[in-house]
Amino acid sequence: METNVTRGQADFDPSAPPPFKIAEIRDAIPKHCWVKNSWRSLSYAVRDIFVIFALAAIAKYSSTWYVWPFYWAVQGTMFWAVFVIGHDCGHGSFSDSRWLNSFVGHILHSAILVPFHGWRISHKTHHQNHGHVENDESWVPMTESLYKSLPSSTKTLRFTVPFPFFSFPLYLWYRAPGKEGTHFHPSSDLFSPNERSYVITSTVCWIIVAALLFHLSIVFGPIQMLKLYFLPYWIFVMWLDIVTYLHHHGYETKLPWYRGEEWSYLRGGLTTIDRDYGWFNKIHHDIGTHVIHHLFPQIPHYHLVEATKAAKHVLGKYYRGPEKSGPIPFHLAKILTASMKEDHYVSDTGDIVYYQNDSKRLRFYEKMKPS
């Protein structure tokens, strides 16, 4: 078993089995936090859609050069916000109605080129296996042997900011290194036979939206569509990749990854991290309140802050709380780059492992520093 004493509290072993059960956390959360209000959920979706169309109208009809950079940043953030609402639909925390979850999820995710069911199923796999070296699905650590087998160019793209944070579309098509399959094909390794019809439905919706975007590019011109849709789309992709990465990497103490009998749903879930995004917390629906979300994804986003406060006394030192942010979360840039420099791979063996770094890559980063 590997140990970690290089960062954080030396008197606390984050890999030690917690002295509480998941039922104790669940019992600490007020009962009303589990209640899903479809109308309230819909109000967030409608609000975000309204803002998106209003921003597009303002940008299109102002046609002033200095408006566009502001528009791309804000609109991309709103694309990310509607993704989070669709994410709740995928978890079933949007509504008790499976039909409404599927309907709203398809509208929101298809509009930003995400195949709803394909992504929903792989994301469910991520939650069911969080913190497991082989079975997790999101930003899974590479083993040392896989890492060393990769060409230098691939390592550079994977571990040099900002390249990794444009990877989500590639992940949808090809998954992560060492994994096979795609989110679009019903026979992919990601899906069981009884899930294939769902995948076909979402892929068809994705194709319809892609065709519509192609048609609009002909009608309005590719430059106009680049400015109105595709540049905000890439801002959304950056949000998604960065936020997802930070919820599982870069804590002040290196956190364990598990295999075999050492892994459990609770221990894996306790490796997730809450983050403070300042002004953006409410814009992207408290997605930074991530520990309780990972353990109990059926809790609606508008109850996550309260549920987390109620559960903290049970979690104790196992709660990975956020560093307080200013209005703009600039502090996360340092955390992000530090993790990219230090967290490269885990050992091929062992049931409790921690990220290790590639000394050659560290020297590469040192050379890149301005003199």
Closest CA to 146 of 367, 347, 3: 347
Q: What pLDDT band is residue 329 in, cutting at 50, 70 and 90?
A: very high
In DSSP notation, 158-211 reads: HHSTTGGGG-HHHHHHH-STT----SS-TTSTT--GGGHHHHHHHHHHHHHHHH
Question: Cα–Cα distances in Å, from 263 out to 49, 207, 268, 272, 273?
Answer: 40, 39, 6, 14, 18
**What is the pLDDT at residue 199?**
97
Q: What pLDDT band is residue 152 in, cutting at 50, 70 and 90?
A: confident
In DSSP notation, 164-177 reads: GGG-HHHHHHH-ST
CA 146 to centroid of chain Cα atoms: 23
Mean pLDDT along residues 101-123: 98
163 vs 199, which has greater pLDDT?
A: 199
In this predicted structure, the answer to whether residue 10 has a pLDDT above a threshold of 60 is no
Q: At what angle do helices 67-91 and 98-111 cross, to 10 degrees?
A: 150
Mean pLDDT along residues 138-150: 92
Report domain extents, the chain: 22-366
What is the average pLDDT score of the chain?
A: 93
**Cis-peptide, bond into residue 162, ω within 30° of zero:** yes
**What is the pLDDT at residue 1?**
54
- Across 142-151, b (16+ Cβ under 10 Å) vs e yields bbbeebeebe
First to last CA, the chain: 40
Span 11-36, pLDDT tens digits:
789 999 999 999 999 999 999 999 99
Q: Tell me the one-letter amino acid at 34.
A: W
Mean pLDDT along residues 141-151: 92
Angstrom distance (rounded) from CA 173 to CA 11: 43
**What is the pLDDT at residue 6?**
43
Span 176-189, pLDDT tens digits:
877 889 999 999 98
Question: Cα–Cα distances in Å, from 57 out to 52, 66, 109, 113, 359?
Answer: 9, 15, 21, 21, 50
Span 242-284, pLDDT tens digits:
999 999 998 988 899 999 999 999 999 999 999 999 999 999 9
